[in-house]
Amino acid sequence: MNDYATTRAAEARRLTTAATLVCGLALFAALVPAVGHAANLAVGVALGLVLAVLAVRCLARWARERREDRADALIAARWRAVHAPHLLDAHDYAQLTVIGHPSARLVPTAVAEGVA
């Protein structure tokens, strides 16, 4: 039976093993400077890779959100062109012109000049 005590014992063993390995590496690095330099290099490279991956993920998320926002705005402009053309503004006409929507040809001159 896998109960709470069994799970806690396995978790405690894993944590104790990890702490023992880290402490053992620290002791060995203190005794042999070359091991300390190699460990510092490995940790630095790993940290650099983690930061690079996080930066790429943040950039990808930012780009995806901007792409989705543009798609949502275009869909809203197309909906307004079909269902409520009196609500279209200059930005909507500009988006509709890009995709070649038929409503873009009906641009009032005041809206096209940005007066409205």
Distance CA 58, CA 77 (A): 29
Nearest-5° angle of CA 106, CA 109, CA 111? 85
59 inside domain: yes
Segments forming the whole domain that contains residue 56: 32-112
Question: In this predicted structure, what is the pLDDT of residue 100?
Answer: 66
Number of domains composing the chain: 1
Q: Read off the pLDDT of residues 71-93 as tens digits, 9 standing for 90 and up.
A: 888 888 888 888 887 888 877 77
9 inside domain: no
Which of 78, 95, 79, 74 has its CA nearest to residue 111?
Answer: 95
113 vs 51, higher pLDDT: 51
Question: In this predicted structure, what is the pLDDT of residue 73?
Answer: 84
14 inside domain: no
